[in-house]
Amino acid sequence: MLCIVSLFCLSGCAVGPDFVRPEPPRVDHYAQGKDPTATIPADGQAQYFKQSAKVVEDWWRLFNSHKLDAAVREAISNNQSLQAAQAALRQSQDNLRAGYGVFFPQADAGFDATRQKFSPSRFGGTSPASTFNLFTLSATVNYALDVFGGERRAVESLQAQMDFQRYTVIGTYLALTGNIVNTIIAQAAYREEIKATEEIITLLSEQTSITETQAEAGTVPYLNALSLRSQLATFEATLPPLQQKLDQSMHLLATLAGRTPAEWAPPQIDLADLTLPADLPITLTSQFVRQRPDILAAEAQLHSASADIGVATAALFPSFTLSGSYGFNNTSIGDLVKSGSSIWNLGANVTAPLFHGGALWFHRKAAIEAYRQSLAGYRQTVLSAFAQVADTLRALEHDAEALQAQSRALEAAGEALQLIQVNYQAGTVNYLQILVANYQYHQAKIGYLQAQAQRLQDTVALFIALGGGWWNPGKIMS
């Protein structure tokens, strides 16, 4: 009895390392030098980076588009990848609940009916053999004493695997919302670029026709007409790829929303319908590693690998089991439950590994190396996450500079076109010069549209890089 009590006392400890969360990098900013505080004004608006500001939930609503909000919410409700991730989370939760069963006694009931032939000569008797029925009704109870904590470490690993699935759901959710918003922005930009390209093609076609007429009249070299034909063909060749990209973006939106392209048409949202968020949050670096889902998922994998070391270590030690059974055994089913038919047993079992050809030892060494692998993977995930935020912060700075330059180019091209139109009305320039200026204006407009869309998409990228605010209340993570 004293031995059993001692075993219960020993069961309070568990071999193997206790998991400790890795410390975040000892830095207080993301980019080289220091983090930016604001971008230059571009297209009439600057963006400001607010240190320690809250990353709001439903961050896409900052773009002030009801159509955008509706598209994102529909995708959240119907996206199959998100539903698969949620099912995987529920599966891991059930596996964890099943794992907790090891801490309880395992009770089973059984009934057995057999017909046997027994020969007393087996035991030196001389009586003739007899044939009889044997009925057995029994209940057994087994309880494994987790003396060295192997079972607790196994359950700890299941808990970590559930955490991994939870953060996988969050990561899938975050990627989904980012993909939806980015694709809608891209779709709006493609639509505007197609419109501008078609206008350029119209102008070049008209310009080519005029030049060909002039070449036939001998007023300009025929080489001018050939040059314009080449430009026209070049721009006509850019139109199908743009249209293909537009179609692909529509198909992608339908897929993300859980629909086939044939049964769902995404809402038409123009760039003008979207408001560029002016105030952007910058999460403290110490909080960042506790909020980004891919980092937390890597940490959960590291935790599981740590617990697996404990499981492998406990396998090197003896295992202890208590068991007992009670039942009835009789040749007549009618007399089965009478007191004279009762049978019972109590027992304790100790199994100690003696020689397994080094298998248990090397299983533990393999678990340690798996932990080191997970630790390196975790650190790489952290480094990549910090780099992504730094990239996005610098990108937003450069986006503002590029958009400012494109705005100046568009403004200059617009002024030039307006001036040439005035001169044409005054009779000082010919119509061909108007077409050239108009062509240059539309080219500048395409560059402006691309810069505008890139700025919007990099703003989305910052919200995603910072974790998307999933930790705020109101999310559907289960």
Taking the alpha carbons at both ends of the chain, their separation in whole angstroms is 47
Q: Judge whether 250 and 266 are in contact, CB under 8 Å.
A: yes
In this predicted structure, what is the pLDDT of residue 359? 96
Q: Judge whether 228 and 432 are in contact, CB under 8 Å.
A: no
Q: Is the pLDDT of residue 39 over 60?
A: yes
Distance separating alpha carbons of residues 217 and 160, to the nearest angstrom: 82
In this predicted structure, what is the pLDDT of residue 12? 54
Topology (CATH level 3) of domain 2-105+148-321+376-465 = Outer membrane efflux proteins (OEP) (1.20.1600)
Q: What residues pair up with 114 in beta bridges, in sequence order?
A: 134
Phi then psi dihedrals of residue 114, to 5 deg: -135, 160
158: helix, coil or strand?
Answer: helix
Q: Is the pLDDT of residue 224 over 90?
A: no
The mean predicted confidence, pLDDT, of the chain is 91
Nearest to 168 by CA among 273, 93, 251, 259: 93
In this predicted structure, what is the pLDDT of residue 2? 38
In this predicted structure, what is the pLDDT of residue 459? 97
Average pLDDT over residues 401-415: 95
The DSSP code sequence of 299-346 is: HHHHHHHHHHHHHHHHTTS-EEEEEEEEEEEESSGGGTTSGGGEEEEE
Using 50, 70 and 90 to split pLDDT, how confident is the model at 65?
Answer: very high
In this predicted structure, what is the pLDDT of residue 9? 43
In this predicted structure, what is the pLDDT of residue 477? 39
Using 50, 70 and 90 to split pLDDT, how confident is the model at 1?
Answer: very low
Average pLDDT over residues 85-105: 96
Highest mean pLDDT among 122-131, 222-231, 354-363, 418-427: 354-363
In this predicted structure, what is the pLDDT of residue 218? 87
User: For 98, what's the count of Cα atoms within 13 Å in the CB-facing half-sphere?
Assistant: 8
Distance separating alpha carbons of residues 378 and 305, to the nearest angstrom: 12
Bigger pLDDT: 16 or 68?
68
Enter the pTM of the model.
0.88
In this predicted structure, what is the pLDDT of residue 10? 46
92-96, 215-219, 471-475: lowest mean pLDDT where? 471-475
Q: What residues pair up with 349 in beta bridges, in sequence order?
A: 321
In this predicted structure, what is the pLDDT of residue 473? 62
Q: What is the DSSP letter of 62?
A: G
- For residue 450, the tally of other CB atoms under 10 A from its CB is 16
In this predicted structure, what is the pLDDT of residue 367? 97
How much of the chain exceeds pLDDT 70, in percent?
96
- For residue 81, the tally of other CB atoms under 10 A from its CB is 14
Domain ranges in the chain? 2-105+148-321+376-465
Q: Going by C-beta distance under 8 Å and a sequence separation of 6 or more, which residues neighbour residue 163?
A: 296, 300, 303
Q: What is the pLDDT of residues 344-362, one digit of tens each?
A: 999 999 999 999 999 999 9
How much of the chain exceeds pLDDT 90, in percent?
71
Q: What is the pLDDT of residues 302-318, one digit of tens each?
A: 999 999 999 999 999 99
